[in-house]
Structure 1
């Protein structure tokens, strides 16, 4: 998953550096594999759930739910200090740090619940959706339940015991699925999704105490230390909230709740990549934190992570862009056909978004939180400008255009920041991007040449066959072109070699591509 290619030198310092880099890389690779497994299984459950709910509920149902989640996320900013991130970043955190983090989380959850209950009518008036009052007051329970969860579960990530987190997350996800889907058949309402949320919150709290021996207590010994680190994280979280949700509020006022529902479904369909990439970034952060005292080592680990991340990013983002005209009508139904352009452009925007999230993780690991905050401020400012330009002209599709334009410009800023803080050179960036980029371009041209239009009116099995054929052809094309470009480079160490080793280990194939004919090189 994560490749470690580093030439050994003769001196002890270089040997130590190489050993550290390989050790961190292996830890990240193992963690990424487990967290990717978590995400794949969770995503599979979500896809099945979404396909069922999309045929039972209306765009307006999804719109009410999306608006409620946006308001909930806004109130949640009160407790979004990132205490868990602080515990991971502080390799010397004691039990008292954990007790303090749990106490602060509980207190802020209590405040959040009260405020959401009080301001629910105001939010409904501002967003012109009366049904939000009862929905938001119901969601107060989520704050109360989540407020007592065991802070010890942060150790799954900190200590990279992602196998345990796999069981933890899978149990939670299955609980929500088996509650929401049957209720959707009975209620035919967004309340089915809300009851699903409630059930996952209850299960999360129960499992947090069953699977973690740590028992939190009310203590505030280290509140000042936690706040000194988390204050900037709080600012980041506030800015990130507006980056993620401002389009929902603006679309609601400009185009109505049904348009918000369309946008929500497009994000669910088109941002599959983000769900797949998040585990890699999640596993990488504690790895970055381990070498944060040495920017040169951190740069090497960062590039090792970005290699496979960009292969995954390009194949999925451009893949979704290429088959969206088949994917949406086949899986969601004809009533969602209007979201195809949204799905396409949001998929490409998500590729840029995962690059941004990687940048943010590295800067936080380095302790350069102000730099990370500055990038988010630039992103939010540009997003507001582009939304005001594009929404009146293109409607809800303007959200996708605004997101893509914003992230394209912000990535330039992010690169300059990384160059200043870690010495990231442009040549290294181009090297990471050019092979998967060219492979993705070839995939797009082939898929759209062979499958230019959806087989409208054909039976569902034929539509599914067309979709699966397009996905298979695109995937084969991508990896053939990627492999060809890699062979032209004389098969250097990197994510491609690691992929070949993985295939050889599992199937016995591709041994001719391995150096010396050995899977271990």
Structure 2
């Protein structure tokens, strides 16, 4: 058997486990050194997040100077609509895969095909809703943007179970390689298009290319392939779990995105662009810590779920770390709001300074 890393290649090459697709589903080999794997996974994930932060900062610095605030606002209108539809792209099935102690090839395959079917349906719904979104915002340019970005929902369906399997087996280096590699390609495409005068289409090109490369890399790094879907695979409990996750995400999204819908509807793309970038900058420090920590914690907590006391201690520890990061970083940004906006976004974004300060206080709450 060809040897490869537990993080990036075959997940369990030397554990004496079964051959075939089942080797991508096992988690029993994690139990012997769960804490050490979590620590290593955290280190890898935080390193990757550092790379993402650098890339995101560079792209923000450049694109904010190449594109006007109104162009960011125009794309933000579409993103709100696409992301709302995207809430149902996975139906929480990837979380079900990660947290399930035992899962079969038939179950994973059935979930994969359900994800693909949902992705096809949601892509069609997003494309069909383009005229209505454009009418809601009184902005006809949104129609081609919605049509261009709707295929990303299908890509998400194709990615969901492969990413879940990587996370399930705590193969965080593989996830990092795919994410960072796709981000590099996407940013390169976006900046190139912006330099070429593509305007807001540069942002669309960046997202499309990043999605496509991420799909290719994840499928390469996780060579699991689905079988034909079968009835009676025993996925009903997984669907129920996924439905609960989706319902929670829906409520959270409505609360977090209502502001963008109102601003875009009442005042148009320019104010929305200023608000959207200010909001993104406020959240940037937390987004460098929270998602990586959650990505490492979810499979570790799932493996510890059988021991409630151990689970509770780990969960409380994670919440304390998140609160500490927020309490330290956000006030620094608030005090230096105008400077941050001027340095990161450039002088044409000066009107975003007061917004940045106000949003910083909201983030602390």
TM range (shorter): 0.7 to 0.9
Deviations 1:35-58 (A, max 9, x none): 122222112111111111111111
* C-alpha contact (below 8 Å) 2:162/2:222 kept by paired residues: yes
Deviation at 1:110, TM superposition (A): 0.6
* C-alpha contact (below 8 Å) 2:115/2:160 kept by paired residues: no
* C-alpha contact (below 8 Å) 2:90/2:157 kept by paired residues: no
Deviation at 1:194, TM superposition (A): 0.4
The residue that corresponds to 1:476 in the other structure is none
- The 5-angstrom pairing of residues 505-516 of structure 1 reads none
Aligned pair 1:211/2:221, yes or no? yes
Aligned pair 1:243/2:255, yes or no? yes
- The 5-angstrom pairing of residues 102-251 of structure 1 reads 102-149=112-159, 151-220=161-230, 221-251=233-263
Larger radius of gyration: 1
Deviation at 1:23, TM superposition (A): 5.5
The residue that corresponds to 1:60 in the other structure is 70
Deviation at 1:293, TM superposition (A): 3.3
* C-alpha contact (below 8 Å) 1:150/1:214 kept by paired residues: no
* 1:309 alignment partner, SS class: helix
C-alpha distance 337-161 of structure 1, shift in aligned 2 (>3 A): same
Residues of 1 paired with 2:316 and 2:244: CA distance? Answer: 26
* C-alpha contact (below 8 Å) 1:109/1:146 kept by paired residues: yes
C-alpha distance 125-172 of structure 1, shift in aligned 2 (>3 A): same
C-alpha distance 21-312 of structure 1, shift in aligned 2 (>3 A): farther
The residue that corresponds to 2:53 in the other structure is 43
* 1:81 alignment partner, SS class: coil
The residue that corresponds to 2:296 in the other structure is 283
The residue that corresponds to 1:11 in the other structure is none
Residues of 2 paired with 1:49 and 1:191: CA distance? Answer: 15
Aligned pair 1:263/2:269, yes or no? no
Deviation at 1:134, TM superposition (A): 0.9
Match among 306, 331, 336 for residue 293 of structure 1: 306
* 2:133 alignment partner, SS class: helix
Aligned pair 1:70/2:80, yes or no? yes
Residues of 1 paired with 2:213 and 2:297: CA distance? Answer: 27
C-alpha distance 225-268 of structure 1, shift in aligned 2 (>3 A): same
* 1:134 alignment partner, SS class: helix
* 1:160 alignment partner, SS class: coil
The residue that corresponds to 1:317 in the other structure is 330
* C-alpha contact (below 8 Å) 2:166/2:222 kept by paired residues: no
Residues of 2 paired with 1:198 and 1:21: CA distance? Answer: 38
Query: How large is the Cα RMSD of the aligned pairs?
Result: 2.2
Deviations 1:404-427 (A, max 9, x none): xxxx4xxxxxxxxxxxxxxxxxxx
The TM-score with structure 2 as length reference comes to: 0.85
Bigger Cα displacement from structure 2, 262-271 vs 76-85? 76-85
* C-alpha contact (below 8 Å) 1:274/1:350 kept by paired residues: no
Deviation at 1:250, TM superposition (A): 0.8
Note the residue ranges of structure 2 that are not aligned, 5 or more in a row.
1-29
The residue that corresponds to 1:458 in the other structure is none
Residues of 2 paired with 1:76 and 1:173: CA distance? Answer: 20
The TM-score with structure 1 as length reference comes to: 0.60
Deviation at 1:106, TM superposition (A): 0.4
Residues of 2 paired with 1:34 and 1:340: CA distance? Answer: 34
Residues of 2 paired with 1:328 and 1:33: CA distance? Answer: 30
Match among 71, 82, 85 for residue 95 of structure 2: 85
The number of residue pairs the alignment matches comes to: 333
* C-alpha contact (below 8 Å) 1:248/1:260 kept by paired residues: yes
* C-alpha contact (below 8 Å) 2:92/2:242 kept by paired residues: yes
* C-alpha contact (below 8 Å) 2:133/2:142 kept by paired residues: yes
C-alpha distance 322-123 of structure 1, shift in aligned 2 (>3 A): same
* 1:187 alignment partner, SS class: coil
Aligned pair 1:253/2:265, yes or no? yes
Higher relative contact order (CA 8 A, sep 6+): 2
Match among 344, 347, 350 for residue 360 of structure 2: 347
Deviations 1:142-190 (A, max 9, x none): 2334433372232222121212222121111111011000110112411
Residues of 2 paired with 1:296 and 1:275: CA distance? Answer: 28
